[in-house]
């Protein structure tokens, strides 16, 4: 979520800029994809275009991606990587929307299909002369079982239902390149030991279940029912352990929430004026957000039965956590209109 609120908004420019039908200058784009991986930790591969003219280079690229991706409807691109970048281009008789973004990270291109699947490519500048080592980009090195190598879990596999894409920390080089990463980004099995004493409990713990226990899959590849049944079983296991811990009893706060609604087709709205991030042209696939979700907040500072009608988004949650630690607000957390207040913290202690 380290997004710059001062970045140029996606799509800035004339709304009627269009490009004529594009013809590729190369029948075989210089493209390298990670094998049999729909989505990877950070990038799915690398693309070395022959020029900085995006409409000219796209047809050959999308043709090469067709065996992995359904018809592409939207392409997000890093503005600094291209000289010519219209709002729309015709490829093989179909219109493909183009949306630019600004970011301090290395330039990438995101191709999004009609079904919401996407492929993210590291864009290698055309004038690059050295062979680029794609394995060095986006491969996390933290001590999670599925993060020591490229994580190919877009769909759950037997023995590996964890998706690294749901762990935001492995997308920041300031973390993955640090020696502290392996000590702090760890399997959930460590939590019981950490909770044994207040002195060993981290000040902040972020937990992301696997694709079965987060309610995403129904049924799961290991035979579990999945959906809300498995999500509920996960919470019944871990919430009591957290509540019984010395640190939580002292001044702990537990927030249980979801990243998105049931599906982008049912609800892809965004709350409280939330806008797309500088490197995420369509966070909700069909809209600007993940739709309406619920949240439960537990702790000594919250009276049982407390309800609030105030609308919050995920940046509000980030800002509320930063408030607890007296930290400056990061990215859009600084601009969200609401953060947790007396409507949430209804008890005093």
Q: How far apart are CA 243 and CA 260, in angstroms?
A: 26
150 contact partners, CB below 8 Å, separation of at least 6: 34, 37, 40, 41, 135, 139
DSSP codes, 20-36 = PPP--S-SS-EEEE-TT
Cis peptide upstream of residue 135 (ω within 30 degrees of 0):
no
Residue with tokens 């799961």: 220
Q: How far apart are CA 58 and CA 145, in angstroms?
A: 36
Give pLDDT tens digits along the chain (349 positions). 222 222 222 222 222 222 333 333 444 457 766 554 444 345 677 788 889 999 999 999 998 888 888 788 899 898 888 987 888 998 888 899 998 887 766 788 889 887 767 888 888 888 765 433 333 233 333 533 344 445 555 678 787 788 777 887 877 777 777 767 777 888 888 899 999 999 999 999 999 998 899 988 889 988 999 999 999 999 999 999 999 999 999 999 999 998 888 766 677 777 777 777 766 667 777 777 778 888 999 999 999 999 999 999 999 999 999 999 999 998 889 988 899 999 999 997 6
What pLDDT was estimated at residue 141? 38
What pLDDT was estimated at residue 246? 96
Q: How far apart are CA 248 and CA 277, in angstroms?
A: 33
Q: Are strands 108-113 and 72-78 parallel, antiparallel or unpaired?
A: antiparallel
DSSP codes, 221-236 = TTS---HHHHHHHHHH
Nearest residue to 169 via CA among 158, 159, 177: 177
DSSP 3-state assignment of 59?
Answer: helix
Whole-structure pTM value: 0.59
Phi and psi, residue 132, nearest 5°: -95, 130
Residue with tokens 């930063």: 322
What pLDDT was estimated at residue 322? 94
What pLDDT was estimated at residue 234? 95
Q: Are strands 108-113 and 94-101 parallel, antiparallel or unpaired?
A: unpaired
What pLDDT was estimated at residue 134? 32
What pLDDT was estimated at residue 130? 42
DSSP codes, 116-161 = S-EEEEEEPPTT--SPP-GGGSS---SSSTTTSS---TTS-BTTB-
Tokens at 107, concatenated: 């330039």
Q: How far apart are CA 165 and CA 157, in angstroms?
A: 15
Distances in whole angstroms, Cα of residue 180 to Cα of each of 201, 276, 277: 16, 31, 27
């Amino acid at each position: 979520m380290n997004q710059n609120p001062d970045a140029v908004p996606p799509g800035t420019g004339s709304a009627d800029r269009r490009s004529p039908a594009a013809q590729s200058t190369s029948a075989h784009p210089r493209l390298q994809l990670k094998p049999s991986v729909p989505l990877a930790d950070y990038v799915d591969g690398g693309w070395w275009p022959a020029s900085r003219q995006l409409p000219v280079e796209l047809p050959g690229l999308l043709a090469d991606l067709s065996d992995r991706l359904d018809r592409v409807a939207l392409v997000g691109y890093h503005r600094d990587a291209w000289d010519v970048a219209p709002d729309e281009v015709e490829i093989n008789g179909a219109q493909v929307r183009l949306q630019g973004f600004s970011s301090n990270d290395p330039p990438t291109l995101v191709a999004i299909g009609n079904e919401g699947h996407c492929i993210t490519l590291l864009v290698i500048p055309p004038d690059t002369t050295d062979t680029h080592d794609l394995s060095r980009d986006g491969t996390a090195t933290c001590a999670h079982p599925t993060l020591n190598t490229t994580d190919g879990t877009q769909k759950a596999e037997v023995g590996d239902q964890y998706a690294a894409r749901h762990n935001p920390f492995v997308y920041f080089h300031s973390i993955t390149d640090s020696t502290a990463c392996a000590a702090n980004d760890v399997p959930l099995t460590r939590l019981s030991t950490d909770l044994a004493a207040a002195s060993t409990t981290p000040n902040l713990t972020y937990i992301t279940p696997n694709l079965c226990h987060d309610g995403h899959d129904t049924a799961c590849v290991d035979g579990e029912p999945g959906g809300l049944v498995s999500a509920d079983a996960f919470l019944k296991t871990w919430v009591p352990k957290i509540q019984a811990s010395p640190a939580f009893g002292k001044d702990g706060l537990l927030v249980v929430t979801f990243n998105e609604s049931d599906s982008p087709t049912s609800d892809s709205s965004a709350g409280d004026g939330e806008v797309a991030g500088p490197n995420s042209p369509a966070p909700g696939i069909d809209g600007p957000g993940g739709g309406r979700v619920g949240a439960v907040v537990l702790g000594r500072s919250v009276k049982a039965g407390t309800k609030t009608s105030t609308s919050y988004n995920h940046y509000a949650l980030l800002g509320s956590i930063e408030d607890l630690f007296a930290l400056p607000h990061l990215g859009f957390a600084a601009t969200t209109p609401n953060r947790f207040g007396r409507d949430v913290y209804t008890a005093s202690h």
